[in-house]
Amino acid sequence: MNSIEIINLNKKYLKSFVLENINLTIDGSSIFGLLGPNGAGKTTLIRLLTQITKPDSGKILFYGKEITKIDIKRIGYLPEERGLYKKMKVGEQAIYLAILKGLSFKQAEIQLKEWFERLEIVDWWDKNVEELSKGMQQKVQFITSVIHKPDLLILDEPFSGLDPINYQILSREIKRINQEGATVILSTHNMDTVENLCDDIAFINNGEIVLTGAVEDIKQTYKTSTYEICFGGDLFSFRTLLQDMIEIIQVEQYNELYRLIFKIKNDIQVENILRKLLSIIKFVSFKEVLPSIEDIFVNLISTNKIDSHE
């Protein structure tokens, strides 16, 4: 079932569209990436989803029904701009925020202790927030965003300030929350994060969706006939035989083996290339190289489908 369905959504500030004719469906079991440059409209869309503001026209359906203020209880939101009371103790503040989400004091204490163990910050329970690093504060705020077990979790740049180890810890927990049934919307500029976590994505630019779909489907759509081959044999013969058929992008040598990345020219069938190579090299591996989400994003910029300003 779709958790979010956005139909002909429009939002103006003054006389300018911030979002124009947005149509978007988010599957209830997915981690969904919301991508685009600064000023594209991502934050406005999140504010509409969280009922901070209202659309000028159009609808947002939340699990099949038009979204209302009541649905906020089923949504967890970690905004890009963080805010913890710096003089307050970490555990005390976490309990306070959990109670605001509808938990009793006892429920909050039990569940928060479990989360603090899971995210490896138990020792910080009685510390003041101002004693925490930016990354540790980020983990505390993440916990307070998910403590009420939301059906929809919206994360705006959740990995800001995290080192690689804590990045892995938070990624693991986001995947676990999704596997337990929550839909996750992830707004980020980090394309590696998108590759690692997201099932589906939407690129927003100038208030419009310019591209949406499953990550793997989009990568297939934008593939460029690029391949990687690892072989043993004569590199000169390889180059000579295929000089009119391919463009070599990268060459690496490992002892008696070569690893090449090349692009096929002029719509030549890859089977024809492999057939030619059989007589002169010993294959170790061969695979198609799909573009990364970052490559696709850059391509959209170069074709003026997305503005390059940040």
**pLDDT tens digit string along 7-18?**
999 999 887 889
In a domain, 250, yes or no: yes
pTM: 0.88
Give the closest residue to 94 by CA, choosing from 158, 140, 155. 140
95-112 average pLDDT score: 95
**How are beta strands 75-78 and 152-156 bridged, if at all?**
parallel
pLDDT at 310: 44
Supply the CATH number for residue 273's domain.
3.30.70.260
d(CA 121, CA 116): 5
Using one digit for the tens of pLDDT, what is the confidence trace for 186-235?
998 888 899 999 999 999 988 999 999 999 999 999 999 999 999 999 99
Burial class (CB in 10 A: 0-12, 13-18, 19+), 175: middle
- Residue 20 pLDDT > 50: yes
In a domain, 302, yes or no: no
Give the whole-number percent of the chain exceeding pLDDT 70.
97
The range of the structural domain enclosing residue 253 comes to: 224-288
pLDDT at 307: 55
Average per-residue pLDDT for the chain = 91
Give the closest residue to 93 by CA, choosing from 110, 115, 109. 109
Domain-ending residue, one of 177, 202, 220: 220
Same domain for 206 and 68, yes or no, is yes
Query: Would you place residue 306 in the very low, low, confident or very high pLDDT band (cuts 50, 70, 90)?
Result: low
pLDDT at 160: 85
Same domain for 133 and 170, yes or no, is yes
- HSE (side-chain half, CA atoms, 13 Å) at 125: 13
Segment holding 219, helix H or strand E: helix 215-221
Using one digit for the tens of pLDDT, what is the confidence trace for 35-70?
988 888 999 999 999 999 999 999 999 999 999 999
The one-character DSSP state at 290 is P
Q: How many CB atoms lie within 10 A of CB 4?
A: 20
Phi, psi (rounded to 5 degrees) for 277: -75, -20
In a domain, 190, yes or no: yes
Same domain for 118 and 264, yes or no, is no
Using one digit for the tens of pLDDT, what is the confidence trace for 152-193?
999 999 998 889 999 999 999 999 999 999 999 999 888 889
Those residues whose C-beta lies under 8 Å from the C-beta of residue 274, and which sit 6 or more positions away, are: 286
Same domain for 206 and 269, yes or no, is no
Give the closest residue to 269 by CA, choosing from 245, 253, 236. 245
In a domain, 310, yes or no: no
Number of domains in the chain: 2
Same domain for 191 and 281, yes or no, is no
Same domain for 75 and 91, yes or no, is yes
